[in-house]
Chains A and B, each alone.
Chain A
Amino acid sequence: QKEVEQDPGPLSVPEGAIVSLNCTYSNSAFQYFMWYRQYSRKGPELLMYTYSSGNKEDGRFTAQVDKSSKYISLFIRDSQPSDSATYLCAMKNQGGKLIFGQGTELSVKP
C-alpha cells in the first residue's frame, strides 16, 4: 500500500464549477501538507501549504486537512480553463522527506 493515495483522474468539469481534489494517507506522523500544480511539460509549482488540521484559503483555492481521517482536500471555486493541470498532493513528517501522490489530471472546459 502506498503511503499517499490520489485518484489520477482525469477529471473534467465545466468552467465555473467547484472542483474537489483529494488525497488519503496512511502515515499518522505526517504533519505538513502541500499541493503542487503542474502544467503540461512543466515542473510542479507549490500552490498551497498547510500545517495541522483545518482549512487554509488563498483566493479561489482552499486546502483542507483532516488528520483524524488521514484525508486532505483541495477545493477550487469558480474554476477556469487556466486551472487545467495536474495537481499533486505532498506531505511529510518532521525531519522527513516529501512524499508525493500520483497526481490528479484536471481539465476545465470553457
Chain B
Amino acid sequence: NAGVTQTPKFQVLKTGQSMTLQCAQDMNHNSMYWYRQDPGMGLRLIYYSASEGTTDKGEVPNGYNVSRLNKREFSLRLESAAPSQTSVYFCASSEVKSDKLFFGSGTQLSVL
C-alpha cells in the first residue's frame, strides 16, 4: 500500500537548471495536486489535475509546468529554477470532489 510516491526526496539545483519532480499514486484517484510548503506560508497549490487529461493553475503557478501523464502519474517541471523556488514540494491525490487529500512524503528542493 504505497499510496502517493514522490521522487526524488532531495534535490539541489543551481539557478537556471531544470528538473522534473515525479509523482505516482496507486489508489485509482482521479484528482492530483502539486503543493509547495514554505515556513510561515502554509501549503500553497501550484497546479492540479481534476481528472486525466486536464490541468489547471492553482495559487502560485508561475515558473512551473505540469503533465498528467496518465491516471497514476502527475509530474511537475521547473524549466529554469530560481532561488525563490527553494521549498518542500508535495504531491497529493483524491477522489473526484473529495476534500480528503492523500499526500506523498515530499521533495525538499534547494536552488542555489
Contact = CB atoms under 8 A, between A and B. Distances in A.
B104 A43 contact: yes
Interface in A12-69: 32, 34, 41-46, 49
B59 to A, nearest CB: 8
Interface string B1-14: 00010000000000
Interface in B58-78: 58-59
Nearest to B100: A46
A73 interface: no
A49 B100 contact: yes
A46 B101 contact: yes
Interface in A73-104: 88, 90, 92, 97-98, 100-103
A102 to B, nearest CB: 4
Chain B interface size, under 10 / 10 to 19 / 20 to 34 / 35 or more: 20 to 34
A72 B90 CA distance: 25
Contact of A97 (B45, B90, B100, B104): B45
- Which of A34, A42, A44 has the most chain B CB atoms inside 10 A of its CB? A44
Nearest to B41: A102
17 contacts: A4-B42, A8-B40, A41-B105, A43-B4, A43-B103, A44-B43, A44-B101, A44-B103, A46-B101, A88-B42, A90-B43, A97-B45, A97-B59, A98-B45, A98-B101, A100-B43, A102-B40
